[in-house]
Amino acid sequence: MNQSFYLPSLLRLRRADVAHVFSASYWSFLLAPVPAILAARGFGKRIVLHYHSGEAEDHLAKWGALVHPWLRLVDETVVPSVYLRNVFTRHGYRARVIPNVADTSRFRYRERSPLRPHLLSTRNLESFYRVDNTLEAFALLKARYPEAILTIAGYGSEESQLRRLAASLGSDGIRFVGRVPPDDIPGLYEEADIFVNSSIVDNQPVSVLEAFASGLPVVSTGTGDIANMVRDGATGLLVPPDDPAAIVKAVTSLLEDPDRALHIVRRARQEVEQYTWTQVREAWAAVYLKRSAPNSGL
């Protein structure tokens, strides 16, 4: 973030009724939310902190002195998941749950028949997303399905390491596509048949919702709020963290039982409706109206 542009932009808060402050964890919390909170408080504005990071537990526990004074200046905290609400509750804060929004109109729902071993990963290439587990699972799957394909979309600090791992495993069928413009994301789901997520730290990933909207069966770890999003055996399949063999077993079960896969994607498509703007907008309107009302209590 370029602070020389960001900080002057906060002067626009003078004309606002409510400051909606988007927040993640660690240094990004200090660099972006904290200046916005200070500016909004200085202008006498109500502050809604919209906190998304799956690393909240570690952030609140280890960065206490650098975090808690600013959180106490916030009028309301909104999180997208029950998982994060429970984290904030444990640290003495109330939080309201409003789910992430999935723009399902951008994605074409399609039922795959036959279901092919064409896998997609759209998580960034960072250690807590464990894309290495996805690669190792794919190598095992490839032994059974030589025609298998894995597309890895995303970027991050582990890209070189993951490319080396792919080469050592035999990179045939593995495609790294890097950072993908938002307009091109739906095309990745359209080309794939199964979505795989191996994260060990997470919250409520929009990528899972995008898979739901596209008709891709989801195989994922149950970290963060994913276990609430993906009901095992109903709207997807859950696997233990750091277990490539379990990923292969789940993917294979879908390939060998296409009727089960079809039932899963149909339920998932129904499930994703609760994350659409039509369903979520009234909750946000209530937050804004409450926060902008005179003498609104906490």
Please give the DSSP secondary-structure letter assigned to residue 217. -
141 with 227, same domain: the answer is yes
Please give the DSSP secondary-structure letter assigned to residue 236. B
Structure tokens, 294: 């005179």
253 with 166, same domain: the answer is yes
Host domain of residue 267: 104-274
Q: Which amino acid type is present at position 69? A: P
Contact by Cβ (8 Å): 255, 145: yes
Determine how β-strand 218-221 pairs with β-strand 194-197: parallel
Region 255-269 average pLDDT: 97
Q: Is the pLDDT of residue 2 over 70?
A: no
240 with 115, same domain: the answer is yes
**How far is residue 208's CA from residue 196's CA, in Å, rounded to a whole number?**
9
69-122 pLDDT, tens digit per residue, is 999 999 999 999 999 999 999 999 999 999 999 999 999 999 999 999 999 999
Please give the DSSP secondary-structure letter assigned to residue 116. P
pLDDT of residue 297: 44
14-35 pLDDT, tens digit per residue, is 989 999 999 988 888 888 899 9
Residue 148 lies in a domain: yes
230 with 108, same domain: the answer is yes
264 with 288, same domain: the answer is no
246 with 204, same domain: the answer is yes
How many domains are there within the chain?
Answer: 2
* Contacts with 173 (C-beta within 8 Å, 6 or more apart), sequence order: 138, 142, 147, 148, 149, 150
109 with 156, same domain: the answer is yes
Bigger pLDDT: 147 vs 294? 147
176 with 49, same domain: the answer is no
CATH number for the domain spanning 284: value is 3.40.50.2000
Q: Is 77 helix (H, G, I), strand (E, B) or coil?
A: strand
Cα–Cα distance list, 245 to 58, 136, 165, 170, 192 (Å): 29, 8, 17, 17, 21
Q: Is 13 helix (H, G, I), strand (E, B) or coil?
A: helix
260 with 115, same domain: the answer is yes
130 with 270, same domain: the answer is yes
Residue 195 lies in a domain: yes
178-236 pLDDT, tens digit per residue, is 999 999 999 999 999 999 999 999 999 999 999 999 999 999 999 999 999 999 999 99
Residue 127 lies in a domain: yes
pLDDT classification of 4: cutoffs 50, 70, 90: low
Beta strands in 100-182 (DSSP E): 118-121, 149-153, 174-178
Residue 246 lies in a domain: yes
Contact by Cβ (8 Å): 221, 121: no
What pTM, to 2 d.p., does this model score? 0.88
Residue 297 lies in a domain: no
Q: What are phi and psi of 257, to 5 degrees?
A: -135, 75
Residue 298 lies in a domain: no
Residue 75 lies in a domain: yes
Residue 97 lies in a domain: yes
Q: Which residue has the tokens 């499930």?
A: 271
The count of other CB atoms within 10 Å of the CB of residue 180 is 15
Share of the chain above pLDDT 70, in %: 96
Beta-bridge mates of residue 282: none
282 with 162, same domain: the answer is no
183 with 270, same domain: the answer is yes
